[in-house]
A = this chain, B = another copy of it.
Amino acid sequence: MVISSRVRLARNLAGFPFLCRASREQRTRVLDIARRRLTTTGIAERVLWVDVHRAPPLDRTLMLERHLISKEHARGVALPAQGAATDAGAAGGEPRGVAVALPDESASVMVNEEDHLRIQVVKPGLELGAAFEAANRVDDALEGECEFGTLEYAYSQRFGFLTACPTNVGTGIRVSVMLHLPALKLMGEMDKVRRATRDMGLAVRGYYGEGSEAAGEFYQVSNQTTLGKPEPAILRELEQEIVPQVIEYERASRRLLLEKRRRMLEDKVFRSLGTLRGARLLTPEEAVVLLSDVRLGVLAGLVPDIQAQTVNQLVLLTQPAHLQRVLGRELDQGERREARADFVRKVLGGN
- For residue A281, which residues in chain B have a CB less than 8 angstroms away from its CB? 263-264, 267
- Within the assembled complex, what's the spacing in Å between the Cα atoms of A258 and B282? 19
- For residue A280, which residues in chain B have a CB less than 8 angstroms away from its CB? 263-264, 266-267, 270
Contacting pair B263 A351 (CB below 8 A): no
Does A106 sit at the interface, judged by CB under 8 A? Answer: no
- Within the assembled complex, what's the spacing in Å between the Cα atoms of A280 and B270? 8
Q: How many copies of this chain sit in the oligomeric assembly? A: 2
Nearest chain B CB to A317's CB is how many angstroms away?
20
- Within the assembled complex, what's the spacing in Å between the Cα atoms of A272 and B338? 17
Contact partner of A274 among B264, B266, B274, CB < 8 A? B274
- For residue A263, which residues in chain B have a CB less than 8 angstroms away from its CB? 280-281, 338
- For residue A279, which residues in chain B have a CB less than 8 angstroms away from its CB? 267, 270-271, 274
Complex: chain B residue closest to A262, CB-CB: B280
- Within the assembled complex, what's the spacing in Å between the Cα atoms of A227 and B134? 89
Does A194 sit at the interface, judged by CB under 8 A? Answer: no
Complex: chain B residue closest to A274, CB-CB: B278
Does A350 sit at the interface, judged by CB under 8 A? Answer: yes
Does A341 sit at the interface, judged by CB under 8 A? Answer: yes
Does A277 sit at the interface, judged by CB under 8 A? Answer: yes
Does A136 sit at the interface, judged by CB under 8 A? Answer: no
Does A28 sit at the interface, judged by CB under 8 A? Answer: no
Contact partner of A278 among B264, B271, B341, CB < 8 A? B271
Does A119 sit at the interface, judged by CB under 8 A? Answer: no
A residues neighboring B (CB under 8 Å): 263-264, 266-267, 270-281, 338, 341, 350-351
Question: Besides the contacts A273-B351, A274-B276, what 15 more A-B pairs have beta carbons closer than 8 Å?
Answer: A264-B281, A267-B280, A267-B341, A270-B279, A270-B280, A271-B278, A271-B279, A272-B278, A273-B278, A274-B277, A274-B278, A274-B279, A274-B350, A275-B278, A277-B351
